[in-house]
Amino acid sequence: MRAMKLILAPMEGLADFWVRQALTDVGDYDWCVSEFVRVSGLLLPPKVFYRWCPELKLGARTRAGTPVHLQLLGSEPDCMAENAVRAVTLGAPAIDLNFGCPAKTVNRHRGGAVLLDEPEVVHAVTAAVREAVPAHVPVSVKMRLGNEDDARALDNARAVVDAGAAWLTVHGRTKRQGYKPPAFWDRIGHIREVVSIPVIANGEIWTADDAARARQESGCDDLMLGRGAVANPRLVSVLRHGGETGWDAILPILQQFWVDVAGTGTDAQLAGRIKQWLSYLRRRWPQAAQLLEQLKRETRPEVIARILTDFVPRGLT
C-alpha cells in the first residue's frame, strides 16, 4: 500500500467550523469536508454557503492551512449543478456529494442515503455537477453501502464512476444499520475491486488497530475519520507517527476551543458544544468524564473557562 491519505469527515451538528479548526490545528489531515449544504429547488444565496463553510472566506482552508471541500446534499440534478457552480465561484476547491446521510428528516425529502435505492439519480446528480463545474475542480461522492440493504452497492459505485467522480468515500454500513457497530470494511473492498477510481474507507475507525484493519479488510489506502477523530483529536498523529495520546495533550485543545468559540453563540449553545465533545472524549479518558461532571450544570462562559483552566483530575495515575 502507498502512504495513506487521512481526511476529516463531514459530521452534521458535530464537526462545524470551530471543531474543524480545532482538529486540523493538531492533526495533519490531507483535507476535510464541510457539513452538508442542503439544496432543494433553489439557487442558494452566498450567505448559506458561508454559514456552513465559513472557510470559504478564508481561502477555503482552516487556520492550520488544511483544505476544506464543500459538501452538497440534494436530489435535483440541475439545481445541484447550479449550486455547485456557485460554491466554486465562492472559492470551494472541490465539491463532495452526500449520498450517505441517514437522518430521517433528510431522507423524507429525498436526500442522503435514501437515494441509494435509485442509482440512476445518483448518476444524474453526479454527472450534472461534474459537467457544470470547471474541469480542474474535483467532484467526489460520499455514500453508504445502501439504504435498507447493500444490494445496490455496486450499481451505485459504478454510477458514480460513470458520472465522472474523481474518488468515492464509502461508509461501511447501510442507512438502516445507522452507526451500530460493526462497520463492514470488507464490503467496501468489494466496491473497490470493481471501480477504477480511488475508494476511501470510512466508519468505526476509533484506534490505530481499527485503522489497520479497515485498510486490510477494504484494501483501501486512504481513510476518512469521523467520530473517532472527535473522540481522540490526536488520532491522526497516532496513525501517522505511532505512540499514544495522554490527557495532557487533550486538555489544551479544549481550552483553546473555548477561547475560539467565545461569543459565537448563546451561553447554553456554547456550553452544549463543549459538553458534547467531552461526551466523546470520556470514551477514552476518565479525566474527561470528571471534567464533564464539573461542567454538567454550568453555562456561564467565565465559569467554564475557569474550570477548564484549573481542572486537575482526581484519583487517577
pLDDT tens digit string along 250-309?
999 999 999 999 999 999 999 999 999 999 999 999 999 999 999 999 999 999 999 999
First-to-last CA distance in the chain?
39
Domains, in order of start, for the chain: 6-241 (3.20.20.70), 247-310 (1.20.225)
Assess contact for 88 and 81: CB atoms under 8 A: no
Q: Which long-range contacts does 203-207 make (Cβ < 8 Å, 24+ apart)?
A: 203/171, 203/172, 203/173, 204/172, 204/228, 206/231, 206/232, 206/235, 206/283, 207/232, 207/235, 207/238
User: Per-residue confidence at 317, pLDDT binned at 50, 70, 90?
Assistant: low
* Mean pLDDT, residues 126-134 taken together: 99
Above 70 in pLDDT, residue 1?
A: no
Above 80 in pLDDT, residue 218?
A: yes
pLDDT tens digit string along 5-45?
999 999 999 999 999 999 999 999 999 999 999 999 899 99
- The CA-atom distances, in angstroms, between 37 and each of 44, 59, 114, 128, 162 are 9, 18, 17, 17, 24
Q: Would you give the distance in Å from CA 79 to the centre of its chain?
A: 23
Neighbours of 201 (CB within 10 A): 28
Looking at residue 109, what is its pLDDT? 80
Catalytic position from the list 32, 79, 101, 220: 101
Above 90 in pLDDT, residue 122?
A: yes
CA gap 177, 154 in Å, rounded: 18
* Mean pLDDT, residues 84-99 taken together: 99
Above 60 in pLDDT, residue 125?
A: yes
- The CA-atom distances, in angstroms, between 221 and each of 7, 37, 236 are 12, 28, 15
In the numeric block, which cell numbers belong to residue 278?
467531552
Q: Would you give the distance in Å from CA 145 to the centre of its chain?
A: 17
Q: Is residue 32 among the annotated active site residues?
A: no
CA gap 9, 270 in Å, rounded: 22
